[in-house]
A and B are shown apart, each in its own frame.
Chain A
C-alpha cells in the first residue's frame, strides 16, 4: 500500500511501487485529466507537479512520489488558475488533449520565474508536444498571464 497526496487529498492505493505515477493517477485513482501520450517522457502530456517541479509522470515511479505534494490539472494553484483563464481567453486549445500537460509546464515556469522571456518560455515548454500546433497561442497566453499578474501587483 502506498499513500499519495494529490491536489491536497490523500489516496491510499495498492500498487507495485514501480508503477509509473501516470497510471496510478489515471487507472487506480481515476483522475483522467493527466494524459498518456508517449510513455517515454518525450511529449509532456502526462506532466504533473511534484513538490512544485514538473515531472513526466509516465516515467516517474509511484515510489518517487510518496510523501510529496502532487498537483494535477484537476487541482488548483494561483498560477495554474490564471493560466487557465488566459488559455480560455486566447482560445488556445484545438483538440485539447495535450493542454493539461502544457498548462502544468507553464505553471511550473511561472512558479519559478515571474517574468519569463520568449527564450525562457521556449526552454520551459520544449518538452511538450502539441500536434495541432497551438504553440504560438500558448506562448501568448503565458505572456498574457504575466501581464495580468503585473497589472494587479
Chain B
C-alpha cells in the first residue's frame, strides 16, 4: 500500500523542512482511496520522512499535531523501535501544513491507527540499509551483521555507529526485502515511554500558539456578535481608543464559510491586555439576525416533541410493531443532553503575517492543511505562498480542527500590513464555539416474559455537524446515525429513527462526538431494562450483547462482540463487581464501542445527603496493538475526568440567541478535590491498533448515572447532574 524510497540526494529535501545531508527515507502513504494510493505509487509523492545524520541524530517529521495525545512520542517510537535506534538520539520536527505530508488531521483517534504499519516498515527498511552499508564497508555478508541500539555489529565483534554508516547508506536503494521485528522483541512499542516533550512542558519552554512572538507584532481582540452570525449595525470606538496601548479599531466582515471568521470589531493594541480592555470599552449595536430566537428551554421542548412522534426511519430490521404488540413488558425513556463547549486550556489564537501575496501562520491547529486552504482561499493566493507552522496545542478536543481564528488573524495582518496575534478571551471561547450538539433521545424496548429484549426503538433529534457545512440541514447525518444503528446488541427487531432539529449555533465535533449522546442513552437504557427484567445489569448486558460474533459495520474494521464482552469481564474482575460496598456506595457500569476500540468502565459512587462523589473508576480498553502503554493509560485517566466534567457540569445554553455561560465559574470543570482513583487495564492484543484519544469518554457519564440508581433507586435521564443539585 505504500512505497519507501531513499531520497537523500533529491533536491526537494529542503522543502520538507530537513537540512540536506544524512540518509533520508521517504514514504508515500495514503489513507484515502485505492485510486489515490495507486496515483501515489506511480508519481511517488512521499509524505512521511525520516532522516539519519552522520552525528547519529535521527530526525522524524511529525505530521500530526501534539495536543496531549502523545502523538509525537508514539509515532516516533514506532520507527525507532524497528530501526533499533537509540531513543536518546531522536529529534521530532513538527511538519508545516502541506499535502506532501499526507493526511494531517489530528482527529478521529486515528493517528496511530493509520500510520502504524507504514512507520514500522520505514524503520525496518532503514535498519536493513544500515546493515547493508556496514556489510559493504566491512566486505562481509549482511547476514553476519545485526543492528542494535544505534550500532551495527558484525559476528566478529566489530561495531560501527549508525551515524558513521550514513555516507554509504545514502548511496543504497531501499531494499526489496526487509524483516519486521517480532512483537516479542519490541523495545519501545507496547512499553511505557514518557513524552518526548515532557522536559519542555515542565519548564515552560514548549511554545504554544499563544507564546509565539514576532518583532513588532500587534495583539488583537475581537468583539463578536453574541448571537451566532449576527452582524455589526454600528459602533462607537471613542472610549476604547482612550485605553492605553490601543492603536486602532476596525470592523471586520464575516467570512461565510464553515471555518470562516465570524466578523465583528477588532481592537489592535501593543499588548493583549490593552486589546482585551479596549474590546470591553466598545459600544456596539448588533443586528442579531435569525438565531436570536434560540432559547435552549423551548428548543429542548421542541426536539423532545420531535422524538415523541414518528421520525425519519434510518434503520428497520425485523418487525418492531409486532415485537411491541407481543411484549410482556414495554419500557420507554427520554434523555436530554445539552450543548457542550470544548474549552481547551489554551484559548483559540493565531499569529499571522501577510506580506504581499505571501502569508506565514503560527497556530495551534489540529488541521494544518485545512487551515492552509482557508488562508489560500481568503488571500486568493497560491499554495506555495502560504506556510502554516503548527505550534504545540494547549488542548484541542476538536475545537482546533476549525481554523476560524486563523482566518481572523490573516484578515487583520493583511489589513494592518503587520504581524498580528489574535487572542480569544475565555469568554469569547465559551460564547462562540462550534458546540457539541444538543440532543433529545427516546428509547422504547419490549421484554418477553424471560426478560429478553425483543424489540428496540431508538429515536433521536439533534442538530447535525453537517449543518456547519450545509446550512439548513436539520436531520442527523449518516455518521451520526451509525453509532446508534451499529449498537452491538443482539436484538431481532430494531428500528432507528431521526427527528428534526435545526442548528442555531455552529455545531462541531468534540472529543468522542456522537458517541457521547448515544453511549449515554444506550447504556442508561440498558440498565433500566435490566432492572425492569429483574436481572443483574452485568448479566443482562452480556446477554444483550449476545453470542460471540463479528458484526460488519461497513467500516474498515469489523467489530467483535467477544472483544466487547472481554473488556466488560476485565472491569468486573478488577472492580470485583457484586462485592459488598460501604453504605451509600454503589457500582454502575457502561460499555461502548467507538473509534474501533472497545471500552468498559465501572464507577463507584457514593450518594450522601443527596451529593454524589465518584470514588473509583475501573476502565478496560481493547485498542488492538498498543504503541505506548503509558499514553493509552494517560488517555483513559484523562477520559474519566473529561467524562466526569460533562456528567457533573457540562451545559451550554442559549437565551435569545446568546450563550449564557462565559468562563470556568459557570462552565465548570472537575477539579483536584473531586477526582476518583482511575484504574486502567489495557488488553494485550496483536490486532490492528485502533483509537485511544476518544473512546474512553462515552462510558463515564452513563456509568455514573447507573451507579446513582443502584445507590438511591433514583433514575436520572438528563445531564448535567448539577441541574439536579447532586454535585
A residues engaging B (CB < 8 A)? 16, 19-20, 22-23, 26-28, 30-40, 42-43, 45, 72-74, 84, 87-89, 91-100, 103, 121-123, 125-126, 128-139
5 pairs of residues in contact across A and B, judged by CB atoms under 8 Å: A45-B345, A93-B195, A99-B201, A132-B641, A133-B642
Does B347 touch A at the CB level, under 8 Å?
A: yes
CA distance A30 to B210 in the complex (A): 12
From B203, B271, B347, B678, A27 is in contact (CB under 8 Å) with B271
Closest to B675 in A: A135
Asked whether A96 and B426 contact (CB < 8 A) given A40-B665, A136-B678, the answer is no
Is A42 within 8 A of B673, CB to CB?
no
B392 part of interface (Cβ distance < 8 Å): yes
Tell me the residues in window 195-227 of chain B with beta carbons closer than 8 Å to chain A beta carbons: 195, 197-208, 210-211, 213, 219
| A94 contact from B68, B202, B205, B675, Cβ within 8 A | B68
Stretch of B89-97, B464-472, B630-638 contacting A (4+ beta carbons < 8 Å): B630-638
Q: Which of A16, A22, A31, A94 has the most CB atoms of chain B within a 10 A radius of its CB?
A: A94
- Say whether A91 contacts B194, CB under 8 Å: yes
Bound: A61/B5 CA distance, A: 58
> Considering the chains assembled together, what is the distance between the CA atoms of A26 and B67 in angstroms?
22
Is chain B's interface secondary structure helix, strand, loop, or mixed overall? loop
CB of A123 within 8 A of CB of B197, answer: no
CB distance from A63 to the nearest CB of B (A): 14
Q: How far is the CA of A23 from the CA of B202 in the complex (A)?
A: 20
A44 to B501, CA, bound (A): 38
Chain B 651-689 interface mask (CB, 8 Å, partner A; 1/0): 000000000000111000111110101100000000000
Say if the beta carbon of B441 comes within 8 Å of chain A.
Answer: no
- Given A98-B345, A123-B673, 11 further pairs, Cβ under 8 A: A16-B245, A27-B272, A35-B345, A36-B272, A39-B276, A42-B665, A91-B195, A96-B394, A129-B345, A131-B343, A136-B677
Residue-wise, chain B 54-94 has the 8 Å CB interface mask toward A (1 for contact) of 00000000000011111000000000000000000000000
Neighbour of B641 across the interface among A28, A121, A133, CB < 8 A = A133
Contacts A38-B664, A93-B202 given; indicate if A132 touches B638 (C-beta within 8 A): yes
Query: Given contacts A42-B664, A129-B671, are A95 and B395 in contact (CB under 8 A)?
Result: yes
For the complex formed, measure the closest distance between the CB of B30 and the CB atoms of chain A, giving whole angstroms: 29
Restricting to B597-649, which residues have a CB under 8 Å from any CB of A?
630, 634-635, 637-642
Interface of A is mostly: loop
Q: Is B273 among interface residues, defined by CB-CB distance under 8 A?
A: yes
Tell me the smallest distance from the CB of B301 to a CB of chain A, in Å: 31
Shortest CB-to-CB span from A5 to chain B, Å, is: 18
Determine if A122 and B672 form an interchain contact, defined as CB atoms under 8 angstroms apart.
yes
Query: Which of A38, A99, A122, A134 is the one whose CB lies under 8 Å from B634?
Result: A134
Which residue of B68, B204, B426, B638 contacts A73 across the interface (Cβ within 8 Å)? B204
A125 with B672: CB separation less than 8 A: yes
B45, chain A: closest CB distance, angstroms: 31
Residue B244, interface by CB 8 Å = yes
- A32 in complex: contacting residue of B192, B210, B642, B670, CB < 8 Å: B210
The complex places the Cα of A130 from the Cα of B640 at a distance, in Å, of 13
Residue of B nearest to A20 (CB): B273
- Are A16's CB and B207's CB within 8 A? no
Q: Nearest chain A CB to B709's CB is how many angstroms away?
A: 25
A33-B205, A72-B204 are contacts. A95–B344 as well, Cβ < 8 Å? yes
Q: Which residue of A lies closest to B677 (CB)?
A: A136
| Residues of the B chain whose Cβ atoms lie less than 8 Å from the Cβ of A133 | 637-642, 670
Contact between chains at B198 and A88 (CB < 8 Å): yes
| Most chain A C-beta atoms within 10 Å of own C-beta, residue among B199, B200, B273, B344 | B273
